[in-house]
Structure 1
Amino acid sequence: MKHRTEDQVIIEATRRWFENSRESIESFSTTLLIPALEDAGLADVDRDSVESSAAAYTRWRRAASMKVGRIIRGTQPFPLAWKWVWIGCLPQEYQRELRRELMAMAGSLYVPIPCFAKAGDCPTRAQAQLHRISEEFGELLQHARPAHNGHYDLNDDPALVDRMMKEAVDLVEVVLSEVAAASRATGRPLPRMRMIAIEMGE
């Protein structure tokens, strides 16, 4: 079985977004991706020339859209340097699924780094995301049909088992992210690390 590559996964998610929204290659290219690439120092756009006339602006939009269109159609290689900027231009739900799949392809879990901000006298403050845990737990329960008879065996539908396990891992990732946020923002050690320290007599 041929494994998908990272660029294929990203492009498939982008196409799926286009199909389920009013977004298009042109709007994605010119209002989201190219400006984001500029901000990241990965695209050089002559703004003076583009803004000098409507014709120049039209040509720029067409050229940008054609380049992104060729990448999406697979006739031009996906630039590796664009990977995370491209993903960052997609809606949050698509970003989460993409990051999870890409990390899984690398043999790891996707545990988002918590966002921290200065908070008065406190060195850091992390946003609590308990609603994410509730959402993911709800998804797990919704797709837990293989567990409904109280056990798992070879009679369980493989597709249902795969979906249940996916939802379980999604929940684990969100819980780990929440624990990391609480630990770092409050300065409290992670529970397992604290137990190890106690056992070693520290």
Structure 2
Amino acid sequence: MTFSLVARCAQTGMFGTAIASSSPAVAARCSYTRAGVGAVSSQNITDPTLGPLALDLMQGGLSATDAIAQIQGQAQFMEYRQVLAIDRNGRTAIHSGPRSLGIWTQARGVNVIAAGNLLANEDVPQAMVAGFENATGHLGDRLLAAMRAGLAAGGEAGPIHSAGLQMCDTVAWPVADLRCDWTEDCPIEAVATAWAIYQPQLDAYVQRALDPREAPSYGVAGDE
């Protein structure tokens, strides 16, 4: 009931994940990024502890492959889980348990891996990887291009209702964490609309956190 990708920008070192699902608030449970470490998507019958655990293991020096292998050996009910990871070097790994729902599969590219479950068809993850690799511009634009490509290839077997986009850069918090937790319209396009508004302000929000004295005007009523 979910399709997602995790990716690394080779030019900037940023990490990101994008996700969509028929379930509500999917990104709140499934999307994880950490600056200088990597990105993880933990989905299917979701265990929200697996994303932070994978990032902790990679921060401790494990590759994405070794981190996923360690999780496979220690976490419970992994036959129900689907976990995608990318590490600081762009290496990717995935676990897809045999009790993942419906049609489930995955695809890899350079600095990107995509996967899904309860998919309309097996071509969706490969379409997402191609969409990411063929897109240009900011990592956020490329992630959204991948999600649109996955949806155009069939997406989930039923209608999707929530989506999210998360990215990290060099600071300790995600520099973008945009979500549509429920809509009867297209949640990917709702997130894309939010990204179009947020992207021009992204650097300003980071600067305001680091040193508001050097930040641009806040652009709110009463701000001079």
Q: TM-score range by the shorter chain?
A: under 0.3
Structure 1 or 2, whichever has the larger Rg, is: 1
Greater relative contact order, per chain length (Cα 8 Å cut-off, separation 6+): 2
TM-score of the superposed pair, with normalisation by structure 1:
0.27
The structure with more strand, counted as a fraction of residues: 2
The structure with more helix, counted as a fraction of residues: 1
TM-score of the superposed pair, with normalisation by structure 2:
0.25
